Amino acid sequence: MVGYEPPVGKTTANPGPQSNQPAMVSIETSSPAASRLQCESPHDGARLVIEHLCKTYSNGVVALDDVSLTIGEGVFGLLGPNGAGKTTLIEILATLLIPTSGRVQFDGIDVLRRPQKVRRRVGYLPQFFGFYPNLTVDQFLNLMGRLSGLRTRTRRQRVSEATAMVGIDQLGRRSLRTLSGGERQRLGIAQALLNDPPLLVVDEPTSGLDPQERLLFRNLLFDLGQGRVVVLSTHLVKDVEFSCADMVVLHRGRILFRGAPAELVAKARDKTWEFEIGSGEFDQARQDSRLVTVVEDEQGRFRARLVADSQPAPRAWNVEPNLEDAYILLVGGEGRAEDRG
């Protein structure tokens, strides 16, 4: 049993758009994330293939170092601390960056050799993006539709579908400058969906959102993963925990882990500890790179939670790990420095 709480609800696993892909089973459960883990491995219907990808910037920084991945339908999580190479990988997938070496293929099309063809199949939501403040939501989406070469009737239909899908269909006449952070992110997703892309690439989409918006956005991403490949780059462990059935942990341009979140959690089993510390030990505990959290209970006592191969203190007891613990165990102190949402 995994130690993290999945969202409660109903989900139907993806049947796959291509006839040669094995249909996945419809599952109705109170624990969709757990059920997603039971789905077939995405490797079976791999559509995005990344081979030995390396990227070294002109200043010598190695952003990606021999990254190889095969990704199937559903939401795929790219987790890692800042500077891990997530955005570089995302920008290569979005045809914005050219790698130093390696190969990327989507549905058999070489992303590097035929970027224009791939662009017709990619929806991209950058980490930081702007809108034209003097346009309304409808005008902006229509402009993006025109730039994507959609004909009038198709464009109107797609704009209507995309706004309904992300829940901003009532905001058509609102000026872009009046949108909240969550609404802007939804609009970003809507523009990425306009050409109905089989590959959706989203970079840190929940950064800066309030908890409620974050939750809604995770559910939206999961819905979008039905029938398409969604690559979600994030440094928020909970984004991956709630949205992804398959993930990698990137660190300094290398893949540290590849698999289901539950497999990563299993790595921290028997290595997650809690123990009480005095208020004097608080600062010392914070220096420990293995520390996950320190919480203060109702009696004013501090309880530290850390990951270690062996019992860190005589009074420490073993606890059930969660994805966050496993991530800290893998990445160390650099992961702890992140906002873990």
Partner 1 sequence: MQANSRNDTGIAGGAAGRSQSDASRQRRARLARKVAHLGSLLWFSSRLTLGRQALVLVVVAIGVFAVSALTGKITGEREVFLVLLGVEMSFFVILSMGLLPREKDAKTLELLLVCTRSRHGLLLMKFVPVCLFVAAVGFGLAWAFHWLTGGFPMVKMLLIPYVLGATIGILTVVLSTHVRNQYAAGAIALTLAIILGITWFKPVETFYTPRATRMMVRQPTLTLNRVLLVVVFSFLYEQAVRRLQRPELWMK
- List of residues contacting partner 1 (CB under 8 A): 57-58, 91, 94-98, 116, 119-120, 122, 124, 126, 128-132, 134-135, 139, 143-144, 146-149, 151-152, 191, 195
Helices and strands, number each (H, E), in the chain: 12, 14
CB-based contacts of 216: which residues, under 8 Å, 6+ apart?
167, 182
**Nearest approach, Cβ of residue 190 and partner 1 (Å):** 12
Q: Phi/psi of residue 255, each to 5°?
A: -85, 120
Contact (CB, 8 A) for 173 and 138: yes
CA distances to 1, 253, 261, 278, 315 from 79, rounded to whole Å, are: 22, 12, 11, 33, 33
Nearer to partner 1, 130 or 300 (CB): 130
Residue 104 beta carbon to partner 1: minimum distance, rounded to whole angstroms: 14
Please say which residue, 73 or 203, places its beta carbon nearer to partner 1: 203
Determine the Cα–Cα distance for residues 195 and 117; give it in Å rounded to an integer: 13
Distance CA 265, CA 129 (A): 33
Residue 198 and residue 93 in contact, taking contact as beta carbons nearer than 8 Å: no
Residue 138 beta carbon to partner 1: minimum distance, rounded to whole angstroms:
12
Nearer to partner 1, 73 or 91 (CB): 91
Q: Which of 155, 238 has the CB closer to partner 1? A: 155
Q: How far is the CB of 144 from partner 1 (least distance, A)?
A: 7
- 152 or 279: CB nearest partner 1: 152
Closest CB 10 distance from partner 1, rounded Å: 34
